[in-house]
Structure 1
Amino acid sequence: MLRTLLGAAALPAPFAALAGFNFFTSEYTATRQELQAQIARHFPVQRRYAEIFTVGLRDPQLGLDARSNRAAITAALSIESPLLRPSPVEGIVTVSSALRYDPATRALRLDHPQAERFELQGVTGRDAERLQQIGTVVAQELLRDQALRTFTAQELTVGRKTYEIGDITVQDDGITVQLK
Structure 2
Amino acid sequence: MRNRPSLRSRRSLLRALLGACATPMPFAALAGFNFFTSEYTASREELQAQIAKRFPVQRRYADLFTVGLRDPRLGLDPRSNRAAITAVLSISSPLLQPQTVEGIVSVSSALRYDAPARALRLDRPQAERLELQGVTGRDAERLQNIGAVVAQELLRDQALRTFTAEELTVGRKTYEIGAITVQDDGITVELK
Distance 1:106 1:93 in 2: 28
Shift of 1:5: 4.5
Which residue of structure 1 aligns with residue 90 of structure 2?
A: 78
Shift of 1:155: 0.3
Paired residues of 2:28 and 2:45 also in contact (CA < 8 A): no
Structure 1 stretches of at least 4 aligned residues deviating more than 2 Å after TM superposition: 4-7
Which residue of structure 1 aligns with residue 164 of structure 2?
A: 152
Shift of 1:6: 3.1
Shift of 1:81: 0.1
In the alignment, residue 6 of structure 1 is paired with which amino acid?
A
Match of 1:46 among 58, 63, 87: 58
Shift of 1:101: 0.1
TM-score between the two structures when normalised by the length of structure 2: 0.85
Distance 1:5 1:80 in 2: 38
In the alignment, residue 141 of structure 1 is paired with which amino acid?
E
Which residue of structure 2 aligns with residue 16 of structure 1?
A: none
Which residue of structure 2 aligns with residue 11 of structure 1?
A: none
| SS of alignment partner, residue 109 of structure 2 | strand
Distance 2:89 2:109 in 1: 18
Distance 1:168 1:95 in 2: 19
Alignment of 1:1-180 (within 5 A): 5-6=28-29, 20-180=32-192
Distance 1:38 1:86 in 2: 33
Deviations 1:84-125 (A, max 9, x none): 001210000000000000001000000000000000000000
Q: Where does structure 1 lack aligned partners over 5 or more consecutive residues?
A: 8-18
In the alignment, residue 55 of structure 1 is paired with which amino acid?
V
Which residue of structure 2 aligns with residue 10 of structure 1?
A: none
Q: Give the paired residue count.
A: 166
Q: Where does structure 2 lack aligned partners over 5 or more consecutive residues?
A: 1-26
Going by fraction, where is helix more abundant, 1 or 2? Answer: 2
Percent of pairs with identical residues:
83
Distance 1:24 1:147 in 2: 26
Larger Rg: 2
In the alignment, residue 49 of structure 1 is paired with which amino acid?
Y
| SS of alignment partner, residue 38 of structure 1 | helix
